[in-house]
Structure 1
């Protein structure tokens, strides 16, 4: 019990120094002070982030943002994930999260893409940077960036050419499948790219493309000839079935 209270006191001391104690946030001044940190206190800083995350308070955004400059990538990443979990309430720090897409650590870049996708409402300014992240050397970042763009829906239509290029050039199948899913969320602008994906050499990509076209619905009527061909001629029975379902969804 004594160990628990010593640890809790340490966490509360850090957060109090950053936020003048979140129990009194209503009276806290606009400027919150964050103590200087170094590598020796990584666990303490992670504990502080967990505490701030648990408050689910919009006032925690300001304090968590301070950790985006932390020297430890695990701390930066934890703060970014906490901010992402706050959703649209964290849209004020979209510029900082967008900048984090250029972090030297791939894990931090991927978490930044994920957080931007979680916020999405009011985060449309991040679409160009997320589109650029589709060319990231790390496949996990590319995959997460594609998924994040899908969360923006039609507001990320400008990313369709880059997503279309990725679905053809990406060597990893699961990334290509994720791209197909993302395209399906972007609406009618993605239909031509999804039609092309119906003849991808990998069955998983073809089926995801068919599902995505079906999800778009009647607006994807341009895909009817290609889906009819897939329904009749695709060598994989599952794909033929998905093409049939997509045709029904499009035709109504």
Structure 2
């Protein structure tokens, strides 16, 4: 559970680019950006990074290219490089809330909880942001990592109010219940959620842990069996379920 690029250098490049940019350069940069973002969608982060770095050379002050570049860095597990890129995108376009949300996500992955919290709270200031359940759930995660369970429960619950089928938030709230010794609340909550989303291996695993905490071995065994059935092949969750079933036999 609990579970840098130099801005001055970039600015220098952008001054030169503004002087020499042509319509053809802009169109080429857009085409390369589209290619890079297509690779992002496919999960080919190396190819995406190559294309987006090329696009940034052509249009260094384009916040959308920078945002996609930051996502490519995150895909390569280089959140340390993604953070300054998202910051630059936000500086170039102060109302670019998506870049701010991605900045918060990068801080979260870097375990910089307070910086992540600030970013996500700033995202929620944008009343037009279309998916507030994501920053709300991420706030819950950050507070959970800080062991501030009251705040974590508040934000996970708010995320679920907006999106009742949001498994990540449901998992987060389940962990809050388990971490605070509220196994009965976890069982009641997860039983209801699994009626709506019966194929969620993650929620079945949370329910199995709640049953184990209660000492209900038969129920725990059945829930781990459900995890084995629904979890992706070779996933860590599937391996965990196999280990727990072996331990319970």
TM-score (norm 1): 0.47
- TM-score between both structures, scaled by the size of structure 2: 0.48
